């Protein structure tokens, strides 16, 4: 207990003695991790957005114009029997025309000139959650296209594919930047600890001579690195949260992307804790690297 309190006190004394270095290390670590955090936040939000879009996906199954009512009923029966289908809504040719007129009143004269209703009857299909992934939707649409009486199957595949590509790219960029900037954070903390080790090299030499074990000598510096990393990470989250709220505020006041600000999410508490733990780990690693290189701490 006495030893533990001594080691904690030594870590605290180290940080207090090198106050400026400690502050600079925490701030630079915070800025570095905040850069990683921005990509992570973007990634989390885009994934969530992709999830909503995927959940909201409606597939239009257009029917052949020559199809009689019996055949329509057959197609409906077949679709209803499909375990991928969650719900089904039939839109007759007349309903489709009505909707068109309601949505585009100024263009309705275009259809009147044709003499007959050119809009096909269709089914609006919502798929079960387990069939909503881009690949599953694609497979289902291809299968239904083969059904007799179906002329066309339509859904916003391009949009979903594009979003998936963007998400994958951001994921890769986030991983790349995350790795590079994490290495930078480790280096920053390693240098801070190296300065501390250098400043206290005489003390370390004395501790070695009076019989301190390697771990006794190392623990205060490892603790210091871990605390620097955790504080840097916590500060980066505070900075991110501030930027996030500012961004939402801007969206609200300018009125751009109205309503989208309510769909945006910040990291949940569990992820925040995990990120602080990551910072702690990076700090520990930085400290470990320094101690290994310094060599003085070796018994």
Partner 1 sequence: MIQLIHVSKQYDQRPALSDVTLEIGKGEFVLLMGPSGAGKSTLLRMLIRAERPDEGQIFVHQKNVTTLKPSDIPYLRRKVGTVFQDFRLLPKKSVFENVALPLLVQGISSADIRRKVTEALRAVGVEHKRDQLPAGLSTGEQQRVCIARAIVNGPVVLLADEPTGNLDPALTAEIIELFKLINARGTTVVVATHDPLVMAQVNRRVLTLSQGRLLPEHRGLA
- Footprint on this chain of partner 1 (rule: CB under 8 A): 2-3, 6, 202-203, 205-214, 216, 298-299
Which is nearer to partner 1, 110 or 206 (by Cβ)? 206
The two beta strands, 58-63 and 85-91, are unpaired
With contact defined as beta carbons under 8 Å apart, do 51 and 87 qualify? no
State which H helix or E strand residue 153 sits in: strand 150-154
Please state the separation of Cα 105 from the chain's center in Å. Answer: 42
Q: What is the nearest approach in angstroms of partner 1 to the Cβ of residue 46? A: 51
As a whole number of angstroms, the distance between CA 21 and CA 158 comes to 52
With contact defined as beta carbons under 8 Å apart, do 174 and 274 qualify? no
As a whole number of angstroms, the distance between CA 94 and CA 65 comes to 12
Q: What is the nearest approach in angstroms of partner 1 to the Cβ of residue 299? A: 5
Q: What is the nearest approach in angstroms of partner 1 to the Cβ of residue 225? A: 21
Q: What is the nearest approach in angstroms of partner 1 to the Cβ of residue 207? A: 7
With contact defined as beta carbons under 8 Å apart, do 100 and 108 qualify? yes
Please name the residues in contact with 74: beta carbons below 8 A apart, sequence gap of 6 or more. Answer: 149
Which is nearer to partner 1, 182 or 196 (by Cβ)? 196
Which is nearer to partner 1, 5 or 253 (by Cβ)? 5
Q: What is the nearest approach in angstroms of partner 1 to the Cβ of residue 221? A: 15
Which is nearer to partner 1, 1 or 114 (by Cβ)? 1
Which is nearer to partner 1, 216 or 266 (by Cβ)? 216
């Amino acid at each position: 207990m006495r030893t533990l309190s001594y080691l904690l006190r030594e870590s605290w004394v180290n940080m207090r003695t090198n106050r400026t270095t400690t502050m600079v290390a925490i701030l630079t670590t915070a800025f570095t991790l905040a850069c990683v955090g921005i990509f992570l936040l973007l990634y989390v939000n885009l994934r969530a957005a992709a999830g909503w879009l995927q959940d909201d996906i409606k597939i239009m199954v257009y029917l052949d114009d020559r199809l009689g009512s019996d055949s329509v009923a057959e197609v409906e029966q077949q679709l209803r029997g499909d375990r991928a289908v969650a719900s089904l809504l039939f839109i007759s040719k007349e309903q489709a025309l009505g909707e068109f007129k309601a949505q585009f009143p100024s263009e309705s004269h275009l259809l009147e000139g044709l003499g007959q209703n050119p809009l096909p009857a269709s089914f609006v299909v919502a798929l079960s959650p387990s069939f909503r992934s881009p690949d599953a939707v694609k497979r289902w649409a291809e299968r239904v296209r083969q059904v007799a009486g179906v002329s066309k199957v339509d859904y916003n595949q391009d949009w979903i594919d594009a979003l998936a590509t963007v998400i994958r790219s951001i994921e890769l960029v986030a991983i790349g930047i995350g790795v590079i900037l994490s290495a930078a954070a480790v280096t920053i903390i390693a240098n801070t600890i190296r300065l501390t080790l250098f400043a206290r090299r005489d003390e370390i030499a004395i501790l070695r001579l009076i019989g301190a074990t390697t771990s006794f000598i190392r623990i205060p510096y490892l603790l210091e690195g871990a605390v620097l990393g955790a504080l840097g990470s916590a500060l980066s989250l505070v900075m991110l949260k501030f930027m996030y709220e500012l961004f939402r505020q801007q969206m609200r006041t300018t009125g751009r992307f109205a309503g989208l600000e309510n769909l945006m999410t910040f990291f949940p508490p569990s992820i925040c804790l995990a990120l602080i733990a990551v910072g702690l780990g990076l700090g520990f690693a930085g400290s470990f690297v320094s101690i290994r290189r310094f060599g003085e701490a070796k018994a």
